[in-house]
Structure 1
Amino acid sequence: MLTGAAMADPLTDAEARFGALHSYQVTLRSTDTAGRQQVIRYAYRKPGWVRMDFEQPYRGAVLVYAPDTQRVRLWPFGLGHWPTLDLAPGHPLLRSPQGHRVDQSDVGVLLGEMLALRERGSATPLDDADVAGRPATGLEITGPPRPTTDGVHRYRVWMARDTGFPLRVDSFAADGGLIESVDMSDARIDAPLPERFFHP
């Protein structure tokens, strides 16, 4: 059960809940300002294992990030198909159009960015809503009036009321234009992810 303080501060509560989970699986469905869409089956297990199975674009491609070696294995044409690439996580081939890195792609990083933006700016609660049938708490986080860097100036996020997990996140630039909209409404918390899942 949430305490009064946690209910009053859903973002801090969401970060605490992320700190307590061990793994999650989600289908990332994103659309950017140019209308480009991505659909990725994403899996995360602490202390930082990541696996992405691409459905759109690059259908069939698979990548795995290993935190122990800090390297990424990429199968561009699917598991069992040549070639297999071994890359650094910052390699340009692995960056999303928004500049996201695979080793900084988990929800914990996103929540940290939101908290940092709120510290410099403000947060406003939104009306509660259902996201894909799941009750959610909404929050709009806005940076300082005069942003000093490019990138996200405002987040609009809806977090599941039962888990605190972000179900939908919209990010905006300082001029108000949409950067990216991400749907994560089918998230499964502490999904069983065996060792072999990250060593295909």
Structure 2
Amino acid sequence: MADLLDEADARFRALQSYRATLHSVGRNGDRQVVHYFYRKPGWVRIDCVEPHRGAVLIYDPGARKLRLWSFGLGFGWGFGFAPLSLAPDNPLVRSPRGHTIDRSDVGALFENLQALRAGGSYTPIDAGTIAGEPALGFEVAGAAGVVVAGVHRNLVWLAQDTLFPRRVDSFDGADELVETVELVDADLDVDFPERFFAP
């Protein structure tokens, strides 16, 4: 019988695209706010709000490259500035917690959760609310000593109606909070403009 993680994973695999605003807070209080856009088979666009307001990153899964506009799309074209073209694991564009743009989508989250659960544990959490909206939750923990992408245990809250992630708390092998990520204003199966990922 499928559990909540399997059901949420299956629903994500049926999606073609989504957009959401991500708010993340790391263990040192460092904050990030981005508008995040995703379209299969792996296109990602990130419009930064905090701390690098105006920066835009677009990942092309076919070329396995990302382009970075430090000051926004179109800035400086008349002055000879072109976007930087970088590998997805370039230190310049990795998050403070080591995340790379090619492994930043909800599908990658579910893959990591499934890897932690294999040999580890899965525990449902009583229904609750996130930002005033009904949510369902579960905890996934790796087996002793198992860490996936720097995480040993996750608390995950999903929107009750869509099973799309709303909040994820990640803990390291010492059970210290690594990061809290909240996804707000999620919109699923978005019909993006033709050039949205290739301006």
Q: TM-score, normalised by structure 1?
A: 0.93
Identify the residue that residue 88 of structure 2 maps to in structure 1: 89
State whether structure 2 residue 101 is matched by structure 1 residue 102: yes
Contact 1:131 1:185 survives alignment (8 Å): no
In 1, the alpha carbon distance for the partners of 2:119 and 2:84 equals 40
Measured after TM superposition, the shift of residue 119 of structure 1 is 0.9
Moved more, 184-193 or 174-183: 184-193
Please identify runs of 4+ aligned residues in structure 1 that moved more than 4 A. Answer: none
CA displacement at 1:148 relative to structure 2: 6.5
* RMSD of Structure 2 on Structure 1 (CA): 1.4
How far off its partner does 1:150 sit?
7.4
Aligned pairs, number: 194
Secondary structure at the counterpart of residue 197 of structure 1? coil
Residue range with higher mean Cα deviation, 178-187 or 53-62: 178-187
What's the secondary structure of 1:31's corresponding residue? strand
Q: Answer yes or no: is 1:69 the counterpart of 2:63.
A: yes
Report the residue type matching 1:169 in the other structure. V
Alpha-carbon distance, 1:163 to partner: 1.2
Tell me the residue number matched to 1:179.
Answer: 178
The question of whether the paired residues in 2 share the 8 Å contact of 1:42 and 1:52 is answered with yes
- C-alpha contact 1:158 1:169 (8 A) present in aligned 2: yes
SS in 1 for 2:118: helix
Query: Using the alignment, how far apart are the partners of 2:141 and 2:149 within structure 1?
Result: 14
Mapped partners of 1:73, 1:167: distance in 2: 28
Within 2, Cα distance between the matches of 1:42 and 1:120? 32
Counterpart secondary structure, 1:96 = coil
Contact 2:18-2:188 within 8 A present in 1 as well:
yes
What is the TM-score with the length of structure 2 in the denominator?
A: 0.93
Matched, 1:52 2:46: yes
> Secondary structure of 1:112's partner?
helix
Change (3 A) 1:114 1:36: same
> CA contact under 8 A between 2:112 and 2:149: conserved in structure 1?
no
Shift of 1:161: 1.8
Q: In the alignment, which of 19, 22, 38 is matched to residue 32 of structure 2?
A: 38
Residue 192 of structure 2: aligned partner:
193
Specify whether residues 40 and 149 from structure 1 end up closer, same or farther in structure 2 by C-alpha distance, changes over 3 A only.
Answer: closer
> Is the CA contact 1:137–1:158 (under 8 Å) kept in the aligned structure 2?
yes
> Any conservation in 1 of the 2:44–2:59 contact (CA below 8 Å)?
yes
| Structure 2 gap segments, 5+ residues each | none
